[in-house]
Amino acid sequence: MNSDKPVANETKNTQSLHDHALDSLLPLLACPECRGDLARQGGGLTCQSCSRSYEVADGIPLLAQAGSSELWGVESDSQTSTAYQETFLDATIGERYQQRYERRWSKRFTTRREIGRIEQLLMSQPRCHRLLDIPCGGGRVSGPLVNATDLLLQADISLSQVLTARQTMGSPGSFAWLTASAFLIPLKEGVVDGILCNRLAHHLAGVEQERLIGELLRVSKRFVIMSYYDHDSFKSRGRRLRGKKPGYTLRRSDLAAMARRHGASVAMDLPLWVEGSRLRYALLLKNLD
Ligand SMILES: [Zn+2]
């Protein structure tokens, strides 16, 4: 006799769905510290090389390492992304950020435009087997990714953001979720066909931007779509003229040089609104061997 209550069944089904997602993810994962293979052990994951263990919360492997350039052994006086990560690790602030975006019509308008640009760049590429969305935030611009790939991996440094994304995306489509830092992506080399990295680069200083681009191009086999603030945009120039900080901008020539150093080139580079917009979307294509 089956004594399970319907609620218990539902919990069990959700549980097995999450287990299934984790199983499909496991062969792609690498230890964020040493890039060794990870295997299930007890309720968590253990690195087969350095024996570090990582928790799994509600089916989501927690592989985010907080911190900045000290993680990859580069001296820097910049606390930029560490401060940014701390803000985002505060769950309430993360949620408020998401809600603010949803509430204000101008932000909704911007979101539609961002999605449009992302779609435009995605559609220039063949369909993906696997696509990584990092940082996925609450999934605000993730919609078009679902139709462009067989499996969508969503990662963010904050678990609350990943949980929000999981809720936002709903069930149609094939997904896997994890927490991860974009500086130490816990995935093996070339295991995804493409990566979307939206609205991260302009929170980072130069040495961090270089690291970010290197990591994205290590994990992606074919392409990276990333947004950045253009150093020479009207807004950046205006802010500099008024003595205000223009944010962490990138020169288009520096972006091209960084891409080149990591085996890629800038194939497309679109402004969010018009030529002169501060936010731009670049498509980096890996060079064929
Ligand atoms: Zn390890």
Tell me the CA–centroid distance for residue 61 and ligand 1, in Å.
14
Residue 282 and residue 226 in contact, taking contact as beta carbons nearer than 8 Å? yes
**Same-domain check for residues 251 and 146:** yes
**Same-domain check for residues 137 and 173:** yes
Backbone angles phi, psi at 233, to 5 degrees: -70, 160
**Same-domain check for residues 140 and 33:** no
Tell me the CA–centroid distance for residue 43 and ligand 1, in Å.
17
pLDDT tens across 152-183, in order? 999 999 999 999 999 999 766 789 999 999 99
Q: Tell me which residue of 91, 89, 110 sits closest to 101, measured CA to CA.
A: 110
Which pLDDT belongs to residue 220? 98
Tell me the CA–centroid distance for residue 238 and ligand 1, in Å.
46
Q: pTM of the predicted model, to two decimals?
A: 0.89
Tell me the CA–centroid distance for residue 31 and ligand 1, in Å.
5
Tell me the CA–centroid distance for residue 30 and ligand 1, in Å.
8
Domain count, the chain: 2
**Same-domain check for residues 6 and 106:** no
**Same-domain check for residues 16 and 131:** no
Which pLDDT belongs to residue 3? 46
**Same-domain check for residues 97 and 142:** yes
Tell me the CA–centroid distance for residue 36 and ligand 1, in Å.
5
Domain range spanning residue 44?
Answer: 1-55
Mean pLDDT of the chain: 88
Q: 177-191 burial, b for 16+ CB within 10 Å, e for fewer?
A: bbbbbbbbbbbeeeb
The residues, ordered by sequence, that sit 6+ positions from 251 with a Cβ below 8 Å of its Cβ are 230, 231, 232
**Same-domain check for residues 45 and 170:** no
**Same-domain check for residues 87 and 202:** yes
- CATH code of 239's domain: 3.40.50.150
Query: To which residue do tokens 């085996």 refer?
Result: 263
pLDDT tens across 19-69, in order? 777 888 999 999 999 999 999 999 999 999 999 999 999 999 999 987 777
**Same-domain check for residues 196 and 250:** yes
Which pLDDT belongs to residue 85? 73
Tell me the CA–centroid distance for residue 38 and ligand 1, in Å.
8
Which pLDDT belongs to residue 245? 80
**Same-domain check for residues 49 and 187:** no
The residues, ordered by sequence, that sit 6+ positions from 114 with a Cβ below 8 Å of its Cβ are 141, 198, 227, 272, 281
* Choice between 241 and 80, residue whose per-residue pLDDT is larger: 241
**Same-domain check for residues 231 and 211:** yes
3-state secondary structure the chain: CCCCCHHHHHHHHHHHHHHHHHHHHHHHEECCCCCCEEEEECCEEEECCCCCEECEECCEEECCCCCCHHHHCCCCCCCHHHHHHHHHHCHHHHHHHHHHHHHCHHHHHHHHHHHHHHHHHHHCCCCEEEEEECCCCCCCCCHHHHCCEEEEEEEECCHHHHHHHHHHHCCCCCEEEEECECCECCECCCCEEEEEECCCHHHCCHHHHHHHHHHHHHHEEEEEEEEEEECCCHHHHHHHHCCCCCCCEECHHHHHHHHHHCCEEEEEEEECCCCCCCEEEEEEEECCC
Tell me the CA–centroid distance for residue 55 and ligand 1, in Å.
14
Q: Is the pLDDT of residue 2 over 90?
A: no
Which pLDDT belongs to residue 4? 47
**Same-domain check for residues 176 and 247:** yes
Tell me the CA–centroid distance for residue 37 and ligand 1, in Å.
7
Tell me the CA–centroid distance for residue 182 and ligand 1, in Å.
17
